[in-house]
Amino acid sequence: MNRRMLSAVAIFFGSMLLFGVQPMVGRTLLPFFGGTSAVWIVCLCAFQVLLLGGYFYAHRLSQGDLSRRLKSHLAILAVAAVWAFCVGGVREGVYGLVAGLPPAAGVLAFLCVVVGLPYVALSANSSLVQSLVSRDGEDVYHLYAVSNVGSLVGLFLYPFVFEPFVAVAVQWRIFGVGLAVYAALLWWLGECGPRSSFSNKRRDAASPLRDAASPLDRASFSHPSSPIPHPSFLWLLLPAVSCAVLNAVTAHLTMDVIAMPLLWCVLLALFLLSYVIGFSAWCVRLLPLWDALALVSAGVLAYAHGRCGSIGFAWHMSGGCGLVLFGCSALHVRLYRARPGSEGLTRYYLFGAVGGAVGGVLTGLVAPLVFTSIVEYPVALILSVLCIVALRDWRRWMVQLAAAAAGVVVLGGLCFRLCDAGDGLESELVRERGFFGTVRVTSQKAKASGMVGEFHEYFHGTTKHGEQFLAPGYGLRPTTYYVPLGGGLPILGHPKYRGGHPMRVGIVGMGAGVTCAYGRTNDVYRCWEISPEVMNVATNPACFTYVSDSKAKVEPVLGDARLALERERREDAPKYDVLQIDAFSGDSVPYHLSTKEAFQLYLDRLESDGFLSVHISNWHMDLRPLVKAVVMEFGVNAVLYLVEPEPGQDACAWCLFVKTPPEGFTLPQGIRLIDLNQVKDWTLPTDERGSLVDLVHLQMPVK
């Protein structure tokens, strides 16, 4: 294998490992931090900062005798390979060290300990190999496209090849072996040496300007009628804006629109593809096309953002994916055109990593602390449009006039949306943003549901998770998904309730606390909620009075429900007559709450005649196969039913599991049963192996 081919293979393989480990780290985090989009946003920020560390490390390595310093790098890779091989067995111990930290800090600390060293060592891959090869006198920037193709392959190999079929501990061992193979490729590349003395002479004779850019590029950056920032400034600005766009669009789509984890990989893959496009020389000629498509995508997003909550998901999805792909491609083409000669290669990539880290940290870590809503989303869109419009070649004024007009329209619409208070904000009681998303409580005077009077609604992102009518006689009336035919059915139908005996009810996912309305004197309702903001809303009588006015003893517990239930099982705490799992509703399905081990835990915490009630209403996942898999795995009895919408109640789907059907229990009229025999067979995933990807569908909810 010649040196040129070997360099491409090394970059491809290293990048495949680098981006294959990202979703693997996310999967490793699941049992400890849950599957919320906030975890992935923090991971993205951490990866961008670690990437900066890797590029700085590569820049330092390339100064001086690179061949000699390469040996030290190979030793570091060997240590990283050994550590990765051992991670599968020590991850619980690592979590024990960070368990007391705030969620964002805990994720960062866990990630840095588990994968920090391997990730930094791999992050040096592209710029380090390019620096090695550039000493042969070649133009090596095309290898950055090879790097991003490898990243794409790694990103999609994981969810479709490794995650469903390989245990997490084994995945880490495979990653360790992969690091060792990569180190061997790098050693081989270092031993090959320059291709020929002629290459070195050609390199010495090369002009920095000739190596830096094509005639088209030089004209764009030097024409006196087209003043633009110095290229080194663009090395910081363009990656910062593109990373801000990625993080902001991800936050908006996965928090405000739909918390579907598959979107994380889709958006990251489009972002990588934008680098492939941007660093392909032929794409420079298509820059007007990328600009036009980017402005169209931004316009779609501006329109969808102005009507968020009343417009189909396809508008948000198409606009967001379009902006990440076309908008970032337009930015990355400009970044490619601003590239220096080979002597500034590592500095160029280092500046890009600094810009990416700044954009990622501002949108992923700073914005959630500063803003009560996802303000960084319209801000990032505005910045991307400004960059595209401001960095156009305005000598072609007739061609650019349409782009300028489109840019002004998009900017005007976004600025209006950013500054506009919007409908109903004057009656907004609460707006909070935390690690687990945005929470809003609104108050209005009337509703087209047949009930007149003041009512409060609770939204997590744009998904409604509860409401309460405050008119006389309606205060403790269950609403939405928790009406007597819905979430209230297992409580009202339990033998202890019908016999007037005290009950213990456990609720995973507190919401607005609507289920507590069924509580009677001497009943105990324990509610687990992972989000402090949600718990504050549910327990605040100014927002909802279900908890404060409940006749039962309500015990709110802040933290992850599975960890709490496991602790109760170890301590042999009293079991529950009804255990309600309400963490699947809306659109997000925490993986660690839907595995074989999780359902075994739920059944262990039930009395022999207890009901396990699971809310499976979902916009974008078909959870019926999950229900059937539980029945097949544990041999329990199950009833899957739908509740039709009526005034005061929303359409919803629930499943009741019971070990032994209680005597006298009958299903009431008004519900529609689903025959599990008509549901496809599916294998229940485990903590170590499995995936929910094949349950995803993009059907819009029926309004």
Is-contact 351 359, C-beta < 8 A?
A: no
**Using a CB cutoff of 8 Å and minimum separation of 24, what contacts does 508-511 make?**
508/561, 508/579, 508/580, 508/581, 508/582, 508/583, 508/593, 509/561, 509/581, 509/582, 509/583, 509/585, 510/534, 510/535, 510/538, 510/556, 511/458, 511/465, 511/466, 511/538, 511/582
Average pLDDT value for residue range 679-691: 87
Q: Which residues pair with 204 in a beta bridge?
A: none
SS3 485: coil
Confidence at residue 600, expressed as pLDDT on a 0 to 100 scale: 95
pLDDT in tens, 283-292: 778 888 888 8
The label of the residue with tokens 């040096």 reads 124
Least confident of 109-113, 308-312, 547-551, 638-642: 308-312
SS3 641: strand
Is-contact 699 620, C-beta < 8 A?
A: yes
Confidence at residue 175, expressed as pLDDT on a 0 to 100 scale: 94
- Compute the distance between CA of residue 559 and CA of residue 537 in angstroms, rounded to an integer: 16
Task: With cut-offs at 50, 70 and 90, classify the pLDDT of residue 524.
Answer: very high
Is-contact 369 104, C-beta < 8 A?
A: no
SS3 34: coil
Is-contact 144 4, C-beta < 8 A?
A: no
Task: With cut-offs at 50, 70 and 90, classify the pLDDT of residue 550.
Answer: very high
pLDDT in tens, 199-256: 343 344 333 333 334 433 443 343 333 344 567 788 999 999 999 999 888 887 776 5
**Using a CB cutoff of 8 Å and minimum separation of 24, what contacts does 366-371 make?**
367/251, 368/38, 368/104, 368/433, 368/434, 368/435, 371/433
Closest residue by Cα to residue 605 from 574, 627, 628, 626: 574
Is-contact 531 559, C-beta < 8 A?
A: no
How is residue 613 written in tokens?
A: 């009630």
pLDDT in tens, 31-72: 777 666 677 778 888 888 888 888 888 888 877 666 677 888
CA atoms within 13 A on the CB side of 62: 27
Task: With cut-offs at 50, 70 and 90, classify the pLDDT of residue 88.
Answer: confident
Angle at 90 between CA 108 and CA 178, to 5 degrees: 85
Q: Select the more confidently predicted residue: 400 or 644.
A: 644
Closest residue by Cα to residue 616 from 587, 646, 638: 587
Confidence at residue 252, expressed as pLDDT on a 0 to 100 scale: 79
Task: With cut-offs at 50, 70 and 90, classify the pLDDT of residue 325.
Answer: very high
The percentage of residues in the chain with a pLDDT greater than 90, rounded to a whole number, is 24
End-to-end Cα separation, the chain, in angstroms = 60
Closest residue by Cα to residue 625 from 691, 530, 670: 691
Helices (DSSP H) in 307-453: which residue ranges?
313-322, 328-337, 345-361, 367-370, 376-390, 397-419
Residue 15 pLDDT > 70:
yes
Exposed e or buried b for every residue in 79-112, given b needs 16+ CB within 10 A? ebbebbbebbeebeebbeebeeeebbebbbbbbb
- Compute the distance between CA of residue 523 and CA of residue 520 in angstroms, rounded to an integer: 5
Task: With cut-offs at 50, 70 and 90, classify the pLDDT of residue 446.
Answer: low
Is-contact 66 132, C-beta < 8 A?
A: yes
Task: With cut-offs at 50, 70 and 90, classify the pLDDT of residue 183.
Answer: very high
Q: Select the more confidently predicted residue: 476 or 416.
A: 476
SS3 511: coil
- Compute the distance between CA of residue 327 and CA of residue 150 in angstroms, rounded to an integer: 22
- Compute the distance between CA of residue 351 and CA of residue 99 in angstroms, rounded to an integer: 34
Is-contact 264 37, C-beta < 8 A?
A: yes
Closest residue by Cα to residue 411 from 387, 391, 393: 387
SS3 294: helix
With a CB cutoff of 8 Å and minimum separation 6, the contacts of 501 are none
pLDDT in tens, 649-668: 778 889 999 988 777 677 78
Confidence at residue 135, expressed as pLDDT on a 0 to 100 scale: 61
Confidence at residue 199, expressed as pLDDT on a 0 to 100 scale: 38
pLDDT in tens, 667-677: 787 788 888 88
Q: At what angle do helices 328-337 and 215-222 cross, to 10 degrees?
A: 100
Q: Select the more confidently predicted residue: 424 or 684.
A: 684
Confidence at residue 225, expressed as pLDDT on a 0 to 100 scale: 34
Confidence at residue 407, expressed as pLDDT on a 0 to 100 scale: 57
Average pLDDT value for residue range 125-144: 72
Residue 132 pLDDT > 50:
yes
Residue 627 pLDDT > 70:
yes
Exposed e or buried b for every residue in 292-324, given b needs 16+ CB within 10 A? bbbbbbbbbbbebbbebeeeebebbbebbbbbb
Q: How far is CA 590 from CA 37, 154, 484, 593, 656, in A?
A: 10, 23, 26, 6, 19
Confidence at residue 450, expressed as pLDDT on a 0 to 100 scale: 56
Return the HEC string of 370-412.
Answer: HCCCCCHHHHHHHHHHHHHHHCCCCCCHHHHHHHHHHHHHHHH
Side chain identity, residue 518? Y
Least confident of 191-195, 216-220, 528-532: 216-220
Do strands 524-529 and 428-434 pair parallel, antiparallel, or not at all (unpaired)?
Answer: unpaired
Task: With cut-offs at 50, 70 and 90, classify the pLDDT of residue 468.
Answer: confident
User: Torsion over CA of 524, 525, 530 and 535, rounded to 10 degrees?
Assistant: -110
Q: Select the more confidently predicted residue: 613 or 349.
A: 613
Angle at 182 between CA 180 and CA 188, to 5 degrees: 105
Average pLDDT value for residue range 383-411: 64
Burial of 635 (0-12, 13-18, 19+ CB in 10 A): exposed
With a CB cutoff of 8 Å and minimum separation 6, the contacts of 667 are 639, 641, 673
The percentage of residues in the chain with a pLDDT greater than 70, rounded to a whole number, is 81
pLDDT in tens, 93-118: 888 888 778 888 888 899 999 999 99
Confidence at residue 556, expressed as pLDDT on a 0 to 100 scale: 95
Q: How far is CA 604 from CA 566, 573, 628, 654, in A?
A: 10, 11, 19, 20
Mean pLDDT: which of 196-205, 341-350, 394-403 is highest? 341-350
SS3 543: coil
How is residue 494 written in tokens?
A: 């339990």
pLDDT in tens, 570-623: 999 999 999 999 887 655 677 888 899 999 999 999 998 899 999 988 766 788
- Compute the distance between CA of residue 666 and CA of residue 493 in angstroms, rounded to an integer: 8
Q: Select the more confidently predicted residue: 301 or 419.
A: 301
Q: What are phi and psi of 15, to 5 degrees?
A: -70, -35
Q: Select the more confidently predicted residue: 33 or 138.
A: 33
Summary mean pLDDT of the chain: 80
